[in-house]
Structure 1
Amino acid sequence: MTTARSTSSGTSSGTLTTPDGTTLAYQDHRPTTEPTATFLLLHGLAGTQGEWHDLATRLSTDDGHRVVTYDARGHGASTRIPPSTTREAHVQDAVSLIENLGLAPVTLLGQSLGGHTAMLLAASHPHLVKSLILVEAGPAGPTPDLPTQIAAWLDNWPTPFPTLREAEAFLGHEAWTKTLEEREDGWHPAFDPTTIIDTVAELATTAYWPEWSRITCPTLLVHGEHGTMRPDEPATMLTHRPDTKVVRIPHAAHDVHLDQPDRLHEAIRAFLLDLKFD
């Protein structure tokens, strides 16, 4: 079931209930003219769709594309403790949005864990995907200590934060304060830590090179100069799929979309322009 309401000119917000009962919160940004392309944006672990506000505005208002963003299960305004956190459940959520909102053929743009979900979707449902843009995301693995790393990262948050300003100073970007909710004693994470840790369980034990090799749509890989991808991962991805376009963004860490939004937008524009003339 899908419900939607208008929030501003050209933008509506809504919810979609998936077959397993998970509710997904989404926003649909529509240009004032007939869209030239349709995007689905997928955020990373412990984030929210609010991270995409700047890029969604650029793609929709400036470039004339339809752009849908959403909170992944276990994140933001979506179901906080969903019945499943598997990679397949995340892929099926994105498929449900594409099919129910009529987005196909869609350009998938995902960062980190959201990029990984987009990659798996492009491999398993090629008929739904026009092109794929991965930001700091790839098939490398396994990473046995990843759940422990995520748990330690979350434990390191000095919560509750007394103010949002102090939260932003610690987390690094204003967008990350949208993962917080206010309680009587301050600002706390608006997610269940166990759910977040469980979400990366399969990445600890599995590599996804077969899935990467099956993808047939045009693909752009964007990674930050100071990002967290394995040093040899972009080159190995090219070995498996030599037609992949790879862009390295200077002065960007893992959150390329927050660190260097102008350069990311330029890379996306150039990629789409190349596709137009291919």
Structure 2
Amino acid sequence: MTYTTTPDGTRIAYQVQGDGAPLVLLAGQANNHRWWNSVRADFHSVRSTLTLDYRGTGDSDKPDTAHSTELFAQDVVAVLDDLGIDRADVYGTSMGGRVAQQLAARHPHRVNSLILGCTSPGGPHSVERDNDVRRALAQPRPEAARQALLELMYTPRWLAEHPGPHHTLGDPDMPAHSRRHHLSAGNRHDAWDLLPSIGAPTLVLHGTDDLLNPTANAPLLADRIPDARLHLIPGARHAYFEEARTLSGRLVLDFLAAPPRRS
């Protein structure tokens, strides 16, 4: 485990694996780097992977102060600076995709290529999950809420064949204040006005059966970011990158090998 300290004094834990040009992997809301455990090695044939524990998760500090996706992006920059990496390819899923939007728009000189997975622009232009999903996640019994989240992440067939452990359900060791700050950061994200300024070649990925972050957000992002590519993965839910890892991993590596030139 390696650490860097951000300008506001927060210690951020980060992890580097593999060899080659760096691919930054950004996890979902209230999750640490273990979100990527099952798939990060898929990239190591040609890339090293760089993950971090968001502030409030994993081995990073957990300050009781306001968080935002812009602040998380600044933390990524601090890690890149600590490693002496001027530019990197960035792959963010779920809230990590929102952080990646901030990173690519506000720190364009740090991002070579951008992959946005199962994410949204946030704000009034995004498509929100419906009330049935909200009620399922807000059930008073923790085990029932956890099961509802599992079924939003994965198909029943995949769950039957992969009983766990599952690393996409949130960091179980987060303190309550960190969970609140992560929820607030996700809810307050609105990159709509920033998206047209993204200059990095961009690939948008999403499962067609994603109800947690509705699939309709994918074409919104692809249409808003100049020259972005869109690929929908049939039958996949929110954790498409894990359940459909063979297809999604190949799509990512193919895109990174030959990103389109901007027109």
- Please indicate the TM-score interval, normalised by the length of the shorter structure: 0.7 to 0.9
Q: What TM-score does the superposition give when structure 2 sets the normalisation length?
A: 0.79
> Secondary structure in 2 aligned to 1:200?
helix
Separation in 2, partners of 1:83, 1:220: 33
Separation in 1, partners of 2:85, 2:15: 13
Cα distance change of structure 1 residues 204 and 26 upon mapping to structure 2, 3 Å threshold: closer
Alignment match, 1:186: none
Q: What is the Cα deviation at residue 134 of structure 1? A: 0.8
Separation in 2, partners of 1:247, 1:52: 20
Query: What number of residue pairs does the alignment pair up?
Result: 243
Cα distance change of structure 1 residues 157 and 21 upon mapping to structure 2, 3 Å threshold: farther
Separation in 2, partners of 1:94, 1:154: 34
Cα distance change of structure 1 residues 107 and 156 upon mapping to structure 2, 3 Å threshold: farther
The amino acid across from 2:237 in the alignment is A
> Secondary structure in 1 aligned to 2:34?
helix
Separation in 1, partners of 2:91, 2:141: 29
Please say if residues 22 and 48 of structure 2, whose CA atoms lie closer than 8 Å, have aligned partners that are also in contact.
yes
Higher share of residues assigned strand: 1
Cα distance change of structure 1 residues 21 and 74 upon mapping to structure 2, 3 Å threshold: same
Separation in 2, partners of 1:26, 1:178: 20
Separation in 1, partners of 2:35, 2:191: 26
- Give the gaps of 5 or more residues in structure 2: 147-158
Separation in 2, partners of 1:90, 1:193: 18
Q: What TM-score does the superposition give when structure 1 sets the normalisation length?
A: 0.75
Separation in 1, partners of 2:215, 2:169: 31
Please say if residues 28 and 68 of structure 1, whose CA atoms lie closer than 8 Å, have aligned partners that are also in contact.
yes
Separation in 1, partners of 2:189, 2:170: 28
Separation in 2, partners of 1:46, 1:258: 18
Are 2:213 and 1:222 equivalent residues in the alignment?
A: no
Q: What is the Cα deviation at residue 83 of structure 1? A: 3.2
Alignment match, 2:74: 92
> Secondary structure in 1 aligned to 2:37?
helix
Are 2:8 and 1:20 equivalent residues in the alignment?
A: yes
Please say if residues 225 and 248 of structure 1, whose CA atoms lie closer than 8 Å, have aligned partners that are also in contact.
yes
Separation in 1, partners of 2:96, 2:169: 17
Separation in 2, partners of 1:92, 1:242: 23
Alignment match, 1:122: 104
Structure having greater relative contact order (Cα 8 Å, sep ≥ 6): 2
Separation in 1, partners of 2:69, 2:28: 13
Separation in 1, partners of 2:225, 2:112: 17
Over the aligned positions, Cα root-mean-square deviation in angstroms equals: 3.3
Cα distance change of structure 1 residues 231 and 66 upon mapping to structure 2, 3 Å threshold: closer
Separation in 2, partners of 1:87, 1:80: 15
Larger radius of gyration: 1
Separation in 2, partners of 1:80, 1:173: 27
Please say if residues 199 and 226 of structure 2, whose CA atoms lie closer than 8 Å, have aligned partners that are also in contact.
no
The one of 44, 50, 53 equivalent to 1:68 is 50
The one of 183, 198, 210 equivalent to 2:181 is 198
Q: What is the Cα deviation at residue 85 of structure 1? A: 1.3
- Once the two structures are superposed, the pairs formed by residues 229-248 of structure 1 within 5 Å of their partners are 229-248=213-232
Alignment match, 1:164: none
Q: What is the Cα deviation at residue 80 of structure 1? A: 3.0
The one of 28, 48, 52 equivalent to 2:36 is 52
Alignment match, 2:22: 38
Separation in 2, partners of 1:243, 1:75: 34
Alignment match, 1:112: 94
